[in-house]
């Protein structure tokens, strides 16, 4: 609520505080408001429209590019696994074709020779379950494999089977996965051979499903990627990683047949987008499928889009702030030009008054320094007179009093010198500083307030604290600000502790602590920022100026605070100030 009221006050000040007419002059108030609104609208549209257009174009282009980059690995993986599967199937088909061509009918009809052949095939390629030798009429002549199936295959005729007719016409056949009478998913490869006399025989091999599953890449289940093989009827040839088994309906529709690998963007039944990569395995009913959730692939895009939109929103806010500010300035100048006609008679008086104030401000330091210089000269003369008169009554006490006057004059001069520092740069004056004495001087300024508010001030000085080389006046300002802040944080009967100690061989640390209410943790990182304050009254510049002085003196300042316990400021100063 407070932030909203501040924003409203800012806009009200921009619209009315700078150029708003008097309440009685309604016409002028509306006139200037219209000019301001028109200026803000036109300038804002001209500045924001190209930015929005370019952001939309960039978002579209980045989205397209990142999506292509996200799909490219899928295409590469699908192509790689397609080639591996094709290579395995062609290897085994060619091996069968070689055997069918090289072995005679008599050899293939011999069970011992056929058993030797399947053993050799498994030692070289693996995954062969059995071999069946079939004559040109489709009769099973010989079979080697699991003994429990031998009796079922003896005397079987395949002449009417579709796969047998395909082998007879095309020369080879690779089936899809089916359970058959084995009731275990498997597939077969069959090849044909014709001898010089024109007689044909067929050699058929049953292959284990492990051949297909071994070509499916493994993925982490967390990334949502799935890979499987289906046939051209949409039936799973290998199990899906997410619950569906072989010979069940595939979780994706059969994609259109193409010669090359394809990657498509799809949406499932629940509305979730995913990437579908697929490739048809040549001369087989198999289709290699890979699905990947699109949101996971587009994580980098979501991050980039958020960055682009954040940049757009930030830019719009900056443009609007600049537009409203510039428009307020411009409309204010228009109003000023109009008001010059009505205020011509008052302008001379107003200008004269402001010039007098300026001259007065410029001469303050000079007017104060003049009497200080006279006091300094007279006190110096008096000091010389007393010093040269040995019999002067109470000579030592008088000299100390005169030296106190001279020190006060120098301090007053330094104050006016610092007053001028608001207008021009003052060089740092380096001199030996006795920190305990300096702290006592600062406490002297606040002694009455401490007594009035019953604030207990305790000073602790560690052994062996040396003098340091620094600027006396600026250190006074630093410690005066910090001790004054500690006093303001305390109620009556509070305590302030000041500790001076060494920090290593080259530094001295001054810690100023109070038992006040403390500073909230969320405010600790901001207390040295200009205009930030936790007080109900204050400019928020004290600690910012203090921080700047300490850094200028090549020192460091840190703060520790706990709510309800108190606050401690640590001022770390070098013994010798580096340039």
Residue 73 lies in a domain: no
Asked if the model's pLDDT at residue 338 lies above 60, the reply is: yes
The model's confidence at residue 536, banded by pLDDT at 50, 70 and 90, is: low
Share the mean pLDDT of the chain: 79
* pLDDT for 331 beyond 50: yes
Question: For residues 411 and 406, which has the higher predicted lDDT (pLDDT)?
Answer: 406
Does residue 193 form part of some domain? yes
On whether residue 70 sits in a domain, the answer given is no
Residue 349 in any domain: the answer is no
DSSP line for 113-176: HHHHHHHHHHHHT--EEEEEEEETTSBEEEEES-HHHHHHHTT-B-TT-HHHHHHHHHSEEE--
Domain residues for the domain of 170 are 103-212
pLDDT for position 541:
64
Same domain, residue pair 448 and 398: no
Q: Are residues 386 and 517 in the same domain?
A: no
Q: Is 261 left (phi over 0), alpha (psi -120 to 50) or beta?
A: beta
Same domain, 451 and 560: yes
Tokens 């960055």 correspond to 307
Distances (CA, A) of 553 to 272, 465, 530, 575: 63, 19, 19, 11
More confident residue, 118 or 304: 118
Q: What is the pLDDT of residue 503?
A: 87
- 441-480: pLDDT as tens digits: 888 777 778 888 888 888 998 888 888 888 887 888 889 8
Which CATH number characterizes residue 437's domain? 3.30.565.10
Whole-model pTM: value is: 0.46
> 370-391, pLDDT tens digit by residue?
787 778 777 777 777 777 777 7
Lowest mean pLDDT among 298-312, 483-497, 555-569: 298-312
Q: Average pLDDT in the 423-437 region? A: 71
Answer yes or no: is pLDDT of 342 > 80: no
Is 208 found in the same domain as 221? no
Helix-strand-coil percent breakdown of the chain, rounded to 5? Answer: 55, 20, 30
Q: Report percent pLDDT > 90 for the chain.
A: 11
Q: State yes or no: pLDDT of 418 exceeds 60.
A: no
Q: What angle do CA 402, 406, 408 make, to 5 degrees?
A: 115
Q: Considering the domain boundaries, does residue 71 fall inside one? A: no
Same domain for 270 and 306? no
pLDDT tier at 309 (50, 70, 90 boundaries)?
confident
Domain boundary among 160, 195, 212: 212
Q: Say whether pLDDT at 121 is over 80.
A: yes
Residues 156 and 182 in one domain: yes
Domains in the chain: how many in total?
Answer: 5
Q: Which helix (H) or strand (E) holds 99?
A: helix 26-102
Q: Is 349 exposed, middle or buried (0-12, 13-18, 19+ CB in 10 A)?
A: exposed
Q: What is the CATH number of the domain that holds 249?
A: 3.30.450.20
Query: Has residue 354 got a pLDDT over 50?
Result: no
Bridge partners of 574, per DSSP, are 507
Of the three residues 155, 186, 212, the one that is the final residue of a domain is 212
**Which whole number is the average pLDDT over 499-513?**
90
What single DSSP character describes residue 312?
H
What's residue 40's pLDDT? Answer: 83
Whether residue 399 is predicted with pLDDT greater than 80 in this model: the reply is no
More confident residue, 293 or 425: 293
Query: Is residue 413 domain-shared with residue 440, that is, in the same domain?
Result: no
* Residue 38 located in a structural domain: yes
Statement to judge: residues 442 and 521 lie in one domain: yes
Whether residue 419 has pLDDT greater than 80: no
Is residue 84 in some structural domain? no
Residue 410 CA to residue 476 CA, distance in Å, equals: 14
Q: What does the alpha-carbon distance between residue 270 and residue 278 come to, in Å, rounded to a whole number?
A: 21
Question: What is the C-alpha separation between 234 and 251, in angstroms, rounded?
Answer: 9
Q: In what order do the strands lie in the sheet with 566-574?
A: 456-461, 495-503, 507-514, 566-574, 556-562
Residue where a domain stops, chosen among 163, 186, 212: 212
Query: 23-27, 268-272, 539-543: which range is least confident on average?
Result: 23-27
Q: 559 and 473 share a domain?
A: yes
- If asked whether residues 459 and 564 sit together in one domain, one would say yes
Q: Is residue 425 part of a domain?
A: no
| Per-residue pLDDT, 411 | 67
Per residue in 19-61, pLDDT tens?
444 333 455 667 778 888 888 888 888 888 888 888 888 888 8
Are both 442 and 549 inside the same structural domain? Answer: yes
Tokens of 116: 């030797």
pLDDT given for residue 183 in this prediction? 77
Task: Report the C-alpha gap between 293 and 310 in whole angstroms.
Answer: 26
Q: What is the pLDDT of residues 226-238, one digit of tens each?
A: 889 999 888 998 8
Residues 441 and 317 in one domain: no
């Amino acid at each position: 609520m407070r932030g909203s009221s501040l924003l409203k006050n800012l806009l009200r000040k921009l619209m009315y505080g700078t150029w708003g007419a008097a309440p009685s002059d309604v016409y002028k108030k509306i006139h200037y408001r219209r000019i301001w609104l028109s200026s803000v609208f036109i300038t804002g549209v001209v500045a924001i429209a190209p930015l929005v257009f370019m952001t939309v174009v960039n978002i579209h282009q980045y989205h397209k590019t990142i999506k292509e980059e996200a799909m490219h690995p899928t295409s590469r993986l699908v192509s790689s696994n397609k080639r591996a599967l094709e290579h395995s199937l062609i290897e085994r088909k060619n091996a069968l074709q070689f055997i069918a061509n090289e072995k005679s009918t008599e050899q293939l009809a011999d069970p011992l020779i056929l058993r030797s052949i399947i053993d050799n095939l498994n030692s070289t390629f693996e995954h062969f379950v059995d071999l069946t030798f079939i004559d040109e009429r489709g009769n099973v002549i010989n079979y080697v494999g699991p003994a429990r199936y031998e009796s079922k295959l003896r005397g079987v005729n395949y002449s009417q089977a579709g796969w047998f007719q395909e082998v007879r016409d095309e020369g080879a056949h690779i089936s899809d996965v089916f359970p058959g009478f084995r009731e275990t998913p498997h597939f077969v490869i069959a090849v044909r051979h014709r001898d010089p006399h024109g007689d044909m025989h067929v050699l058929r091999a049953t292959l284990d499903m492990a051949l297909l599953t071994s070509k499916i890449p493994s993925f982490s289940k967390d990334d949502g990627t799935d890979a499987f093989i289906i046939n051209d009827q949409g039936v799973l040839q290998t199990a899906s990683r997410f619950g569906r088994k072989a010979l069940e309906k595939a979780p994706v529709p059969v994609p259109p047949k193409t010669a090359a690998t394809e990657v498509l963007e799809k949406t499932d039944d629940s509305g979730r987008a995913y990437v579908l990569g697929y490739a048809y395995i040549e001369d087989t009913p198999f289709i290699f499928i890979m699905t990947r959730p699109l949101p996971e692939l587009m994580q980098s895009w979501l991050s980039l889009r958020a960055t682009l939109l954040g940049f757009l929103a930030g830019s719009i806010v900056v443009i609007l702030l600049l537009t409203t500010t510039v428009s307020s300035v411009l409309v204010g100048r228009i109003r000023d030009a109009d008001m010059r006609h009505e205020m011509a008679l008052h302008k001379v008086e107003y200008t004269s008054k402001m010039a007098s104030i300026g001259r007065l401000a410029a001469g303050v330091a000079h007017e104060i320094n003049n009497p200080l210089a006279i006091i300094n000269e007279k006190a110096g003369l008096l000091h010389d007179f007393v010093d040269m008169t040995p019999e002067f009554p109470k000579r030592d006490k008088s000299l100390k009093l005169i030296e106190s006057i001279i020190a006060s004059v120098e301090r007053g001069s330094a104050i006016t010198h610092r007053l001028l520092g608001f207008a021009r740069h003052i060089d740092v004056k380096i001199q030996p500083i006795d920190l305990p004495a300096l702290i006592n001087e600062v406490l002297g300024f606040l002694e009455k307030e401490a007594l009035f508010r019953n604030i207990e001030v305790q000073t602790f000085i560690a052994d062996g604290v040396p003098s340091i080389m620094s600027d006396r006046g600026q250190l006074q300002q630093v410690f005066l600000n910090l001790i004054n802040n500690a006093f303001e944080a305390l109620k009556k009967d509070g305590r302030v502790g000041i500790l001076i100690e060494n920090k290593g061989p080259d530094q001295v640390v001054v810690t100023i602590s109070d038992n006040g209410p403390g500073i909230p943790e969320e405010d600790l990182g901001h207390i040295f920022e200009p205009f930030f304050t936790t007080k109900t009254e204050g400019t928020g510049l004290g600690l910012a100026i203090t921080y700047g002085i300490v850094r200028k003196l090549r020192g460091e300042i840190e703060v520790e605070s706990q709510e309800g316990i108190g606050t401690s400021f640590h001022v770390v100063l070098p013994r010798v100030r580096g340039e």
